[in-house]
Structure 1
Amino acid sequence: MSKMASNRSVIAKRFSWYEQKIGNWVILFYFILALSSVTLLKPYLDPLPISNLQLSMGTDHTKLVIEDTNSSQKLNLSSSLQPSVSSGEVILKQERKPICNVSDPRFDICDIEGDVRIHGNSSSIFIASSSQMDALEGNKSWLIKPHPRKGDPNAMRFIREFSVKAIVGQEEAPPCSVYHSVPAVVFSHGGYSRNLFHSFSDVLIPVFETSAQFQGEVQFLVTNFEKHLIIKFQAILKQLSNYEIIDIDSDDQVHCYPRMIVGVKFYKDLKIDPFISNGYSMKMFRQLLINAYSLKKFTAIKISPDTQEKPRLLILSRKGSRSFMNVDEIAEMAKSLGFEVVVSEGMKNMEEFSHVVNSCDVMLGVHGAGLTNMVFLPTNAILIQVLPWGGFDWVASNCYGQPPLGMDLRYLIYKIKEEESSLLQKYTLDDPVIKDPTSIHKHNWNQFQSVYMDKQNVKIDVGRFRATLLEALELLHH
């Protein structure tokens, strides 16, 4: 027994010696590895100002920005949740965010972080200090019109222009009159904004896309201020900002903000591209409208053998041009197919009319701004656009044909024939206005608008139109 114990003691000592040797080699290996890592990363980590760590949460990724106060260099440590980056992978890159982007053909925009000062009365914006100064690259001033119709001279003609200037060297910024702790967004209510379509397409949707990231903690500075439009859309604007809207053109104070976005982005009419807008979409914008107006109907009726409720059809009537000349006849035919019919020109009170639209399953109207009210329809509802005579296909598709697809709506189109147009009361079938509309307007918008939009009404052939309403009923079965 004592011999066996002695052998075990020897083995234990030998094992302990080997274990110590292995441990020493492991320690040496990790020391060499750590030394190599420090050498490789030294340009980025020396010095490391821990006090300047800023954590920014985005929709698709979490970003850690480290600012080196000695070199004005920013590092981007991004742990991405997107499929292209595996779990635990770290991306190391230098961030050089430009102050202003004037290269997009549709809009100009500045996104400034730091000490930003605006004097509205003189249309002047000063960048007193910013971490973006190192990205100036020789340009330290811009002239910006904060409206997304850059390619349309007629729309941009009266948009107020702002001078955005970075203060460098011995220059002095004007002293602050009012300090604000939240960011600001500067946008215009000019252009064609008095038209409902353009109010949504050029102002409300771009402002949503720009400001939703702040979750109400942002202030709006409006140029080309239209008080009646602010009142009309106040329920929507209040969903986006918790603060008073400032008419910046008439303001003589110097307002100072920690961040300011001058201008808004624009993708396409009544559309948002979620791939370039931080994940925002038209579905999210429509949810904002539901919240703003407390809309009750979320989904259109689904017809089944057990359905007692009738599908509800809204006919948008118009005064003046592009009106239905036989709206009563259309309504009676729709009722005979089983629709409950509502006829309305719309209402000045946006909240009241939003509830009328939201209560319906199908909305019918001739091409025009009134179709913009589709934004209030419940999910899976149907928009029927009636195209007057004259080559409306392109404009009708872009304005009201494509947008429903991004809103979870269905879309039908009814193109009238020559005999359904009031133009036949003035022109013969052989006249180029009827026979060859393209030869009349030849992509000249003013000519197109003058002849085919401003001087035409429609008288629907209810026998022919019946098939379109039957198709709508069939869609409501699914």
Structure 2
Amino acid sequence: MTYEDSIFVRSFGQHELKKLGSGALLLFFIMAFTICTIFKLPVYSQVDLVKPVHNFSNSRSDVYEMNGDIRIHSNSSTIFVAPSFHVEIISSWTIKPYARKQKETKIERVREWKVKYHQVPNCSRRFTIPAVLFSTGAYSGNYFHAFTDIIIPLYLTCRQFNGKIIFLITDNYSWWVSKYNVILEKLSKYDVVDIDKENEVLCFSRMIVGLKSNKEFGIDPRVSPHYSIKDFRQFLRITYSLEKETISPCHKKFGIIRRPRMLIISRRKKRHLTNESGVAKMARTMGFDVVVKEMGSNVSLVAHFVNSFDVMMGLHGAGLTNMIFLPENAVVIQIVPFGLDVASDTYFGLPARDMKLRYLEYKVSLNESSLLGKYPNDSEVYRDPHAIHKRGWAAFYFTYAFNQEVNLDLGRLRATLVHAFELVCS
């Protein structure tokens, strides 16, 4: 205590000090309530100082962790957080438990849940294990979004529980759970609960609503709980029993001992590589052992298959998500269709480098694109893709991703393949 503090204390009697302390505490709660009301923040009573609702929301996702008497009632889409005592202050707010914030149709269809700090309904079933509520709706049918919006955030949120956590899934699709069941079973020892079909009030002492997410197709290790994408890749290697952690040497002192394996991801629908066979033939003449294949839906088979390659090449799209299974130091070549360089590095370039993969990029020129001739010569589609992007993601993606095929200039591509060969065989 400073000299000034001791003078202040001696100036008041014990009774006056108690009155002053009570007044200050009351003033604090009045100010806090006023601020929360003005800025529409969740308001918590004095009880919350003991049993709080933690807000881990960020620019990518909304996440709340609750402790105490938590009761979820599916029929009313409400999560009740019970106070320990009768309080007059009532707070409620809504959340869509999907790890992507965008004002788009698919995300708007994600089921919205109300979190209500108030008296609770009677409990039907009580659990001693914590739970996490999340959605498998929105873009979950897309392979890339399944990982970046759900699986990686689920790992980030739940790995700390070592399997002792219950998954409450809203907007549940049985096919989705079946497809990624191996991962779900590794993160939770318990059966998945389709919360939308529950008619009872389920009670927990701890619940997380929403999934933590801090990076596109990756993890920021600087943010709590300080996992990394390297940790996640190791988790996948263990989950799927993948053999190769890093690429094997393809040379020895006096020559090549094996041809480096290259996977060309085939696409049969939008953004098709029209001279795919010509690309594969050229790569073989350069010394690669080439496989051209469209990825299947069995994640376990795909994981083992991809893990056996040194180089993976493909057009910008969900197929490149499979880089997550490549061994460390493998090479990823992203073929970027005309105009799509706005998204190429964010979605696959930066993630590849974070995964300790060697990343190469081949940017398609207008002469190699099927867009040539579809628009007037002075069209903004050709002149300024960034301007199209500013009009909205849907219009941009329809123009450059859904409406474009590619015929690669093999002369231009050769330099990229030479570089890839040198990286894995130098």
TM tier relative to shorter chain: 0.7 to 0.9
Contact 1:222 1:248 in 2 (8 A): yes
In structure 1, what is the Cα distance between the partners aligned to 2:57 and 2:193?
A: 28
1:383-402 equivalent positions in 2, closer than 5 A? 383-390=332-339, 392-402=340-350
User: Cα offset for 1:143?
Assistant: 1.3
User: Cα offset for 1:454?
Assistant: 0.9
* 1:275 counterpart (202, 205, 222): 222
User: Cα offset for 1:294?
Assistant: 1.2
Contact 1:358 1:377 in 2 (8 A): yes
User: Cα offset for 1:443?
Assistant: 4.1
In structure 2, what is the Cα distance between the partners aligned to 1:214 and 1:129?
A: 25
1:250-289 equivalent positions in 2, closer than 5 A? 250-289=197-236
Amino acid at match of 1:128: A
Matching residue of 2:297: 348
Contact 2:342 2:386 in 1 (8 A): no
In structure 2, what is the Cα distance between the partners aligned to 1:238 and 1:230?
A: 10
User: Cα offset for 1:221?
Assistant: 0.2
Matching residue of 1:154: 105
Contact 1:270 1:399 in 2 (8 A): yes
Mark the structure with the bigger radius of gyration. 1
Structure 1 residues not aligned, in runs of 5+: 1-70, 74-94
1:306-455 equivalent positions in 2, closer than 5 A? 306=253, 307-390=256-339, 392-427=340-375, 429-455=377-403
Amino acid at match of 1:217: K
Contact 2:57 2:63 in 1 (8 A): no
In the alignment, structure 1 residue 104 sits paired with structure 2 residue 64: no
Percent same amino acid among aligned pairs?
A: 45
In structure 1, what is the Cα distance between the partners aligned to 2:343 and 2:303?
A: 25
Structure 2 residues not aligned, in runs of 5+: 1-45
Amino acid at match of 2:70: V
SS of residue matched to 2:190: coil
In structure 2, what is the Cα distance between the partners aligned to 1:357 and 1:468?
A: 21
* Structure of greater relative contact order (alpha carbons < 8 Å, 6+ residues apart): 2
Task: From the superposition, tell whether residues 468 and 115 of structure 1 become closer, same or farther in structure 2 (CA, over 3 Å).
Answer: same
User: Cα offset for 1:103?
Assistant: 5.9
In structure 1, what is the Cα distance between the partners aligned to 2:408 and 2:51?
A: 55
User: Cα offset for 1:434?
Assistant: 2.9
In structure 1, what is the Cα distance between the partners aligned to 2:106 and 2:206?
A: 28
In structure 2, what is the Cα distance between the partners aligned to 1:96 and 1:128?
A: 13
User: Cα offset for 1:335?
Assistant: 0.6
Amino acid at match of 1:313: M
SS of residue matched to 1:423: coil
Contact 2:262 2:313 in 1 (8 A): yes
Matching residue of 2:133: 186
Instruction: Give CA deviations for 1:112-144 in whole Å, capped at 9, x if unaligned.
Output: 1122111223212112256xx99x995632212
Task: From the superposition, tell whether residues 334 and 455 of structure 1 become closer, same or farther in structure 2 (CA, over 3 Å).
Answer: same
In structure 2, what is the Cα distance between the partners aligned to 1:140 and 1:72?
A: 13
Task: From the superposition, tell whether residues 110 and 444 of structure 1 become closer, same or farther in structure 2 (CA, over 3 Å).
Answer: closer
SS of residue matched to 1:374: helix
In structure 2, what is the Cα distance between the partners aligned to 1:368 and 1:316?
A: 10
Out of 111-120 and 191-200, give the one that drifted further.
111-120
In the alignment, structure 1 residue 459 sits paired with structure 2 residue 410: no
Normalized against structure 2, the TM-score is what? 0.83
Task: From the superposition, tell whether residues 263 and 439 of structure 1 become closer, same or farther in structure 2 (CA, over 3 Å).
Answer: closer
User: Cα offset for 1:265?
Assistant: 1.5
Matching residue of 1:7: none
Contact 1:441 1:448 in 2 (8 A): yes
